[in-house]
Structure 1
Amino acid sequence: MGAMGRALSGAVLAASLLSGCSGSDQPILMNLRSESRGPDEFAILPNKPLQAPADMSQLPAPAPGRANRSDADPGGDAVAALGGSRGALSGGGVRDQALIARTTRFGVDPDIRRQLAAADLEYRRDRDGRLLERIFNVNVYYSAYEPYELDQYRELERFRRSGIRTPAAPPESVED
Protein backbone atom coordinates (compact mmCIF):
# COMPACT_ATOMS: atom_id res chain seq x y z
CA MET A 1 0.00 0.00 0.00
CA GLY A 2 1.49 3.28 -1.12
CA ALA A 3 1.48 6.63 0.60
CA MET A 4 -1.69 7.63 -1.30
CA GLY A 5 -3.53 4.51 -0.10
CA ARG A 6 -2.49 5.08 3.52
CA ALA A 7 -3.59 8.71 3.37
CA LEU A 8 -6.94 7.71 1.88
CA SER A 9 -7.54 4.97 4.45
CA GLY A 10 -6.46 7.35 7.25
CA ALA A 11 -8.95 9.97 6.02
CA VAL A 12 -11.76 7.38 5.91
CA LEU A 13 -10.85 6.16 9.40
CA ALA A 14 -10.77 9.73 10.77
CA ALA A 15 -14.13 10.54 9.18
CA SER A 16 -15.74 7.42 10.62
CA LEU A 17 -14.33 8.14 14.08
CA LEU A 18 -15.55 11.73 13.98
CA SER A 19 -19.02 10.66 12.86
CA GLY A 20 -19.31 8.56 16.00
CA CYS A 21 -18.68 11.62 18.16
CA SER A 22 -22.06 13.21 17.52
CA GLY A 23 -23.93 13.31 20.81
CA SER A 24 -27.50 13.10 19.52
CA ASP A 25 -29.37 11.34 16.77
CA GLN A 26 -31.70 14.33 16.49
CA PRO A 27 -30.76 17.89 15.57
CA ILE A 28 -31.29 20.41 18.37
CA LEU A 29 -33.55 22.65 16.28
CA MET A 30 -35.92 19.76 15.58
CA ASN A 31 -36.19 18.91 19.27
CA LEU A 32 -38.97 21.18 20.56
CA ARG A 33 -38.48 20.25 24.20
CA SER A 34 -35.18 21.31 25.62
CA GLU A 35 -33.50 18.85 27.94
CA SER A 36 -31.16 21.49 29.34
CA ARG A 37 -31.61 23.04 32.76
CA GLY A 38 -31.26 26.57 31.40
CA PRO A 39 -34.10 29.05 30.90
CA ASP A 40 -36.51 28.71 28.00
CA GLU A 41 -35.92 31.84 25.95
CA PHE A 42 -39.36 31.56 24.36
CA ALA A 43 -41.15 31.58 27.72
CA ILE A 44 -39.71 34.92 28.81
CA LEU A 45 -42.11 37.81 28.31
CA PRO A 46 -41.04 41.36 29.08
CA ASN A 47 -43.21 43.22 31.57
CA LYS A 48 -45.02 46.41 30.68
CA PRO A 49 -43.63 49.62 32.18
CA LEU A 50 -44.70 50.28 35.76
CA GLN A 51 -47.37 52.94 36.15
CA ALA A 52 -48.40 54.73 39.32
CA PRO A 53 -52.12 55.58 39.51
CA ALA A 54 -53.18 59.05 40.51
CA ASP A 55 -54.87 57.66 43.63
CA MET A 56 -53.29 54.69 45.43
CA SER A 57 -56.69 53.61 46.73
CA GLN A 58 -57.55 52.56 43.15
CA LEU A 59 -55.09 49.69 43.34
CA PRO A 60 -56.62 46.26 44.00
CA ALA A 61 -55.47 44.26 46.99
CA PRO A 62 -52.61 41.94 46.09
CA ALA A 63 -53.56 38.29 45.75
CA PRO A 64 -51.42 35.28 44.78
CA GLY A 65 -52.05 34.17 41.21
CA ARG A 66 -53.90 37.33 40.20
CA ALA A 67 -52.65 39.18 37.12
CA ASN A 68 -50.61 42.30 37.66
CA ARG A 69 -51.16 45.52 35.69
CA SER A 70 -47.59 45.27 34.40
CA ASP A 71 -47.88 41.61 33.31
CA ALA A 72 -47.68 40.91 29.60
CA ASP A 73 -50.89 39.81 27.87
CA PRO A 74 -49.84 38.54 24.43
CA GLY A 75 -53.33 37.26 23.57
CA GLY A 76 -54.98 40.55 24.49
CA ASP A 77 -52.25 42.53 22.74
CA ALA A 78 -52.79 40.52 19.54
CA VAL A 79 -56.58 41.01 19.68
CA ALA A 80 -56.16 44.75 20.28
CA ALA A 81 -53.60 45.05 17.45
CA LEU A 82 -56.06 43.40 15.07
CA GLY A 83 -58.82 45.82 16.06
CA GLY A 84 -60.66 43.59 18.52
CA SER A 85 -61.72 44.15 22.08
CA ARG A 86 -59.65 42.91 25.02
CA GLY A 87 -62.91 42.61 26.96
CA ALA A 88 -64.05 39.83 24.63
CA LEU A 89 -61.23 37.67 25.96
CA SER A 90 -62.14 38.09 29.61
CA GLY A 91 -65.30 36.01 29.52
CA GLY A 92 -64.09 33.69 32.26
CA GLY A 93 -63.03 31.04 29.77
CA VAL A 94 -66.53 30.66 28.31
CA ARG A 95 -65.20 30.55 24.77
CA ASP A 96 -62.53 28.06 25.75
CA GLN A 97 -65.09 25.81 27.40
CA ALA A 98 -67.28 25.91 24.29
CA LEU A 99 -64.28 25.02 22.12
CA ILE A 100 -63.29 22.16 24.41
CA ALA A 101 -66.86 20.85 24.50
CA ARG A 102 -67.06 20.93 20.70
CA THR A 103 -63.72 19.22 20.10
CA THR A 104 -64.29 16.51 22.70
CA ARG A 105 -67.91 15.69 21.77
CA PHE A 106 -66.94 12.24 20.47
CA GLY A 107 -64.82 11.39 23.50
CA VAL A 108 -61.24 11.80 24.56
CA ASP A 109 -58.54 9.18 24.69
CA PRO A 110 -56.29 10.10 27.63
CA ASP A 111 -53.49 7.95 26.19
CA ILE A 112 -53.45 9.54 22.72
CA ARG A 113 -50.07 11.26 23.09
CA ARG A 114 -48.31 8.01 24.01
CA GLN A 115 -50.06 6.13 21.17
CA LEU A 116 -49.10 8.75 18.58
CA ALA A 117 -45.51 8.91 19.83
CA ALA A 118 -45.22 5.10 19.59
CA ALA A 119 -46.73 5.05 16.09
CA ASP A 120 -44.41 7.87 14.97
CA LEU A 121 -41.36 6.10 16.40
CA GLU A 122 -42.31 2.89 14.57
CA TYR A 123 -42.84 4.84 11.33
CA ARG A 124 -39.41 6.49 11.64
CA ARG A 125 -37.70 3.20 12.50
CA ASP A 126 -39.14 1.64 9.34
CA ARG A 127 -37.65 4.54 7.35
CA ASP A 128 -34.32 4.96 9.13
CA GLY A 129 -32.27 5.47 5.99
CA ARG A 130 -29.87 3.51 3.89
CA LEU A 131 -26.72 1.86 5.20
CA LEU A 132 -24.38 4.82 4.69
CA GLU A 133 -26.96 7.23 6.15
CA ARG A 134 -27.10 5.11 9.30
CA ILE A 135 -23.32 4.71 9.48
CA PHE A 136 -22.68 8.46 9.11
CA ASN A 137 -25.71 9.41 11.25
CA VAL A 138 -27.41 11.42 8.50
CA ASN A 139 -30.77 12.91 9.43
CA VAL A 140 -33.48 11.25 7.34
CA TYR A 141 -36.41 13.10 8.95
CA TYR A 142 -37.33 15.09 5.85
CA SER A 143 -37.10 12.16 3.45
CA ALA A 144 -39.16 9.94 5.81
CA TYR A 145 -42.01 12.47 5.95
CA GLU A 146 -41.75 13.69 2.35
CA PRO A 147 -44.96 11.86 1.27
CA TYR A 148 -46.89 14.01 3.77
CA GLU A 149 -45.27 17.30 2.81
CA LEU A 150 -47.59 20.13 1.82
CA ASP A 151 -46.57 21.98 -1.35
CA GLN A 152 -47.56 25.54 -0.46
CA TYR A 153 -47.41 26.83 -4.04
CA ARG A 154 -49.57 24.02 -5.43
CA GLU A 155 -52.13 24.64 -2.66
CA LEU A 156 -52.09 28.37 -3.37
CA GLU A 157 -52.81 27.73 -7.05
CA ARG A 158 -55.57 25.27 -6.13
CA PHE A 159 -57.20 27.88 -3.88
CA ARG A 160 -56.97 30.55 -6.56
CA ARG A 161 -58.43 28.26 -9.23
CA SER A 162 -61.40 27.51 -6.98
CA GLY A 163 -61.98 31.24 -6.34
CA ILE A 164 -60.81 31.36 -2.73
CA ARG A 165 -59.21 34.72 -1.96
CA THR A 166 -55.67 34.55 -0.59
CA PRO A 167 -54.93 38.09 0.63
CA ALA A 168 -51.94 37.04 2.75
CA ALA A 169 -50.17 35.50 -0.26
CA PRO A 170 -48.33 37.53 -2.87
CA PRO A 171 -50.29 38.36 -6.02
CA GLU A 172 -50.04 36.12 -9.07
CA SER A 173 -48.00 38.68 -11.00
CA VAL A 174 -46.44 41.99 -10.09
CA GLU A 175 -46.49 44.69 -12.75
CA ASP A 176 -43.38 46.89 -12.86
Structure 2
Amino acid sequence: MNFRPTKLIFMLALGFLVAACGRGESIFDKNGDFKIRDAGPDEFSIIPTKPLEIPEDTVTLPEPTLGSKNRVDLEPDRDAITALGGNPERLDSELIASDEQALIAAASRSGVPGNIRDQIDADAKVIAKKRKPRFFQRWIGHDGRLQTYKSESLDPVLETDRLRRQGVRTPSVRIVE
Protein backbone atom coordinates (compact mmCIF):
# COMPACT_ATOMS: atom_id res chain seq x y z
CA MET A 1 0.00 0.00 0.00
CA ASN A 2 1.46 3.31 -1.06
CA PHE A 3 0.61 5.85 1.65
CA ARG A 4 1.61 9.44 1.17
CA PRO A 5 2.34 11.68 4.17
CA THR A 6 -0.18 14.26 2.96
CA LYS A 7 -2.90 11.62 2.95
CA LEU A 8 -1.99 10.56 6.48
CA ILE A 9 -1.97 14.14 7.75
CA PHE A 10 -5.30 14.84 6.07
CA MET A 11 -6.90 11.70 7.51
CA LEU A 12 -5.62 12.49 11.01
CA ALA A 13 -6.89 16.06 10.77
CA LEU A 14 -10.25 14.77 9.57
CA GLY A 15 -10.37 12.34 12.49
CA PHE A 16 -9.61 15.10 14.99
CA LEU A 17 -12.23 17.32 13.38
CA VAL A 18 -14.89 14.64 13.68
CA ALA A 19 -13.86 13.86 17.26
CA ALA A 20 -14.14 17.54 18.16
CA CYS A 21 -17.79 17.54 17.13
CA GLY A 22 -18.79 15.34 20.08
CA ARG A 23 -20.41 16.50 23.29
CA GLY A 24 -17.43 15.54 25.40
CA GLU A 25 -19.06 12.38 26.69
CA SER A 26 -18.14 8.83 25.85
CA ILE A 27 -19.93 7.16 22.97
CA PHE A 28 -19.77 3.85 24.83
CA ASP A 29 -21.82 2.78 27.83
CA LYS A 30 -20.42 0.91 30.84
CA ASN A 31 -20.62 -2.44 29.00
CA GLY A 32 -18.60 -1.15 26.07
CA ASP A 33 -21.58 -1.00 23.72
CA PHE A 34 -22.44 2.06 21.65
CA LYS A 35 -24.75 4.48 23.40
CA ILE A 36 -27.76 5.53 21.43
CA ARG A 37 -28.49 9.14 22.35
CA ASP A 38 -31.85 9.31 20.65
CA ALA A 39 -33.55 6.01 20.05
CA GLY A 40 -36.20 7.74 17.96
CA PRO A 41 -39.72 6.46 17.52
CA ASP A 42 -40.47 2.79 17.65
CA GLU A 43 -41.32 1.49 14.19
CA PHE A 44 -44.39 -0.31 15.42
CA SER A 45 -45.79 2.78 17.10
CA ILE A 46 -45.75 4.93 13.96
CA ILE A 47 -46.71 2.47 11.21
CA PRO A 48 -50.43 1.78 11.29
CA THR A 49 -51.53 -1.78 10.73
CA LYS A 50 -54.81 -3.32 9.76
CA PRO A 51 -56.93 -4.50 12.69
CA LEU A 52 -56.28 -8.05 13.85
CA GLU A 53 -58.81 -10.63 12.71
CA ILE A 54 -59.38 -14.07 14.12
CA PRO A 55 -60.63 -16.35 11.35
CA GLU A 56 -63.54 -18.66 12.03
CA ASP A 57 -61.50 -21.65 10.93
CA THR A 58 -57.83 -21.51 11.96
CA VAL A 59 -57.02 -24.53 9.80
CA THR A 60 -57.27 -22.32 6.70
CA LEU A 61 -54.41 -20.11 7.90
CA PRO A 62 -51.21 -20.50 5.88
CA GLU A 63 -48.16 -22.07 7.47
CA PRO A 64 -45.92 -19.27 8.84
CA THR A 65 -42.68 -19.00 6.91
CA LEU A 66 -39.75 -16.66 7.29
CA GLY A 67 -40.12 -13.62 5.04
CA SER A 68 -43.75 -14.25 4.16
CA LYS A 69 -46.39 -11.52 4.24
CA ASN A 70 -48.18 -10.72 7.46
CA ARG A 71 -51.95 -10.50 7.09
CA VAL A 72 -52.11 -7.17 8.96
CA ASP A 73 -49.25 -5.47 7.09
CA LEU A 74 -50.17 -2.56 4.89
CA GLU A 75 -49.87 -2.96 1.14
CA PRO A 76 -49.82 0.63 -0.14
CA ASP A 77 -49.52 -0.36 -3.81
CA ARG A 78 -52.55 -2.64 -3.65
CA ASP A 79 -54.52 -0.20 -1.50
CA ALA A 80 -53.87 2.67 -3.93
CA ILE A 81 -54.85 0.59 -6.96
CA THR A 82 -58.04 -0.54 -5.21
CA ALA A 83 -58.89 3.03 -4.16
CA LEU A 84 -58.49 4.21 -7.76
CA GLY A 85 -60.77 1.46 -9.06
CA GLY A 86 -58.09 -0.83 -10.45
CA ASN A 87 -57.48 -4.53 -10.07
CA PRO A 88 -54.71 -5.21 -7.51
CA GLU A 89 -54.42 -8.83 -8.70
CA ARG A 90 -52.61 -7.55 -11.82
CA LEU A 91 -49.60 -6.79 -9.60
CA ASP A 92 -49.03 -10.54 -9.20
CA SER A 93 -49.35 -11.30 -12.91
CA GLU A 94 -46.21 -11.81 -14.98
CA LEU A 95 -48.15 -11.43 -18.23
CA ILE A 96 -48.00 -8.25 -20.28
CA ALA A 97 -51.33 -6.47 -20.10
CA SER A 98 -53.19 -5.96 -23.37
CA ASP A 99 -53.09 -2.18 -22.98
CA GLU A 100 -49.29 -2.30 -22.62
CA GLN A 101 -48.64 -4.57 -25.60
CA ALA A 102 -48.95 -1.69 -28.09
CA LEU A 103 -46.39 0.33 -26.12
CA ILE A 104 -43.94 -2.57 -26.03
CA ALA A 105 -44.46 -3.25 -29.74
CA ALA A 106 -43.70 0.40 -30.58
CA ALA A 107 -40.61 0.44 -28.35
CA SER A 108 -39.23 -2.77 -29.85
CA ARG A 109 -40.10 -2.05 -33.51
CA SER A 110 -36.42 -1.94 -34.50
CA GLY A 111 -35.64 -5.14 -32.65
CA VAL A 112 -34.36 -5.74 -29.15
CA PRO A 113 -31.28 -7.86 -28.51
CA GLY A 114 -31.68 -10.39 -25.74
CA ASN A 115 -28.45 -9.37 -24.04
CA ILE A 116 -29.02 -5.60 -24.06
CA ARG A 117 -27.93 -5.13 -20.44
CA ASP A 118 -24.63 -6.94 -21.01
CA GLN A 119 -24.08 -4.92 -24.18
CA ILE A 120 -24.67 -1.60 -22.41
CA ASP A 121 -22.42 -2.63 -19.52
CA ALA A 122 -19.60 -3.54 -21.91
CA ASP A 123 -19.99 -0.21 -23.75
CA ALA A 124 -19.95 1.68 -20.45
CA LYS A 125 -16.72 -0.05 -19.41
CA VAL A 126 -15.05 0.90 -22.70
CA ILE A 127 -16.09 4.53 -22.29
CA ALA A 128 -14.98 4.57 -18.65
CA LYS A 129 -11.53 3.25 -19.61
CA LYS A 130 -11.11 6.11 -22.09
CA ARG A 131 -11.85 8.70 -19.42
CA LYS A 132 -9.15 9.09 -16.83
CA PRO A 133 -10.52 10.20 -13.47
CA ARG A 134 -9.34 13.56 -12.23
CA PHE A 135 -6.97 13.98 -9.31
CA PHE A 136 -9.63 14.24 -6.59
CA GLN A 137 -11.66 11.41 -8.11
CA ARG A 138 -8.59 9.16 -8.10
CA TRP A 139 -7.77 10.21 -4.56
CA ILE A 140 -11.17 9.20 -3.17
CA GLY A 141 -11.50 6.18 -5.46
CA HIS A 142 -14.30 7.59 -7.63
CA ASP A 143 -14.54 5.95 -11.05
CA GLY A 144 -16.45 8.70 -12.86
CA ARG A 145 -19.48 6.60 -13.75
CA LEU A 146 -21.78 9.62 -13.73
CA GLN A 147 -19.74 11.19 -16.52
CA THR A 148 -19.96 8.09 -18.74
CA TYR A 149 -23.11 9.08 -20.58
CA LYS A 150 -22.88 12.86 -20.23
CA SER A 151 -22.12 13.30 -23.94
CA GLU A 152 -25.23 11.27 -24.81
CA SER A 153 -27.66 13.16 -22.60
CA LEU A 154 -30.19 15.64 -24.00
CA ASP A 155 -30.77 19.22 -22.98
CA PRO A 156 -34.57 19.23 -22.58
CA VAL A 157 -35.01 22.89 -23.53
CA LEU A 158 -32.92 22.59 -26.71
CA GLU A 159 -34.61 19.32 -27.65
CA THR A 160 -38.07 20.85 -27.15
CA ASP A 161 -37.12 23.80 -29.36
CA ARG A 162 -35.78 21.43 -32.04
CA LEU A 163 -38.97 19.36 -32.02
CA ARG A 164 -41.19 22.45 -32.17
CA ARG A 165 -39.25 23.80 -35.17
CA GLN A 166 -39.99 20.50 -36.92
CA GLY A 167 -43.69 20.89 -36.13
CA VAL A 168 -43.90 18.19 -33.46
CA ARG A 169 -46.44 19.02 -30.79
CA THR A 170 -45.08 18.98 -27.25
CA PRO A 171 -48.17 19.64 -25.13
CA SER A 172 -46.75 18.36 -21.84
CA VAL A 173 -43.83 20.79 -21.90
CA ARG A 174 -44.42 24.32 -20.73
CA ILE A 175 -43.56 27.07 -23.17
CA VAL A 176 -40.35 28.87 -22.27
CA GLU A 177 -40.12 32.36 -23.72
Q: Which one has more relative contact order, counting CA pairs under 8 Å at least 6 apart?
A: 1
Q: TM-score, normalised by structure 2?
A: 0.44
Q: TM-score, normalised by structure 1?
A: 0.44
